[in-house]
Structure 1
Amino acid sequence: MTAATHPARTASQALHAAVRARDKEAWLDLFAVDALVEDPVGPSDFDPEGNGHRGRDAISAFWDKAIAPNESIEFLFEDSFACGNEIAFTGKVRSLNDSRVIDAEGVFIYRVDETGKILAVRAFWETERTMRTMRPA
């Protein structure tokens, strides 16, 4: 295995491609049965309790709330670090919605199981900081 073929890198790239293609089913199929999505980690408008979204139904609802309303989402990562069964990206996720652009700058971590299914997505970004980037498209 090389850094380019690391299982977490491969899975995260497939996840990003599914988001760009707006293909919810392909996106959901990348997750393990009991996967957890924390985006962002901790309490947020997407997750008031801060417990994350666990399992296919909860992750599907997260898509509907956080991903589907956007016209497009770009993953603008500056660097990545693959270690063990995880990969961490640094950079930003850019969302276009209602002629507005928002950049969520942070650290984005993906963990996979031995079959390459995604066990966890943990996104570390700050809501207030992200909202300050809002601008016309």
Structure 2
Amino acid sequence: MKSFKHLWLCAGLALLLSACATPYDTEKDFWSFGKGFETVQIAPDGWQISFVGNTNTDRALARKYIMRKSAELCQQAGYSYFTFTREQTDRDSVGQFGVADSSSSLLWGSSTTNKETSVVVEVTGLNSKPDNATSRVYDTNYILSHVSVEG
């Protein structure tokens, strides 16, 4: 009976931890289970930003997070505009979480497959908006004032 309670406690804790979308301010590390942001400066005016969200983080929310993070980085570096030189968004099925009990030679349980939304972009900061841009150019201040990541 004690192991049965322990089993339900573990399952309940897992459900609780996966019930919300990955928050915006999450940095990717061991304690966030590999979810959140990772940012690397790859040039004086460029960054690679990756974001991995949990099952409840859809593509639209992940895209908003990336837009906002790009604008924040560019503003901190003194750039008024930015563009994505590379962008990739995926929604993949990963891993399994399962719970089982084999007492009394009976095996029962359940498992779920998680879906992760991941986005990787390369961002280039720009001092001015080019006249003949070959890709979309975003206004840093506009993004910061119009793209909200609050719940």
Which TM-score bucket, shorter chain as reference? Answer: under 0.3
**Structure 2-normalised TM-score?**
0.25
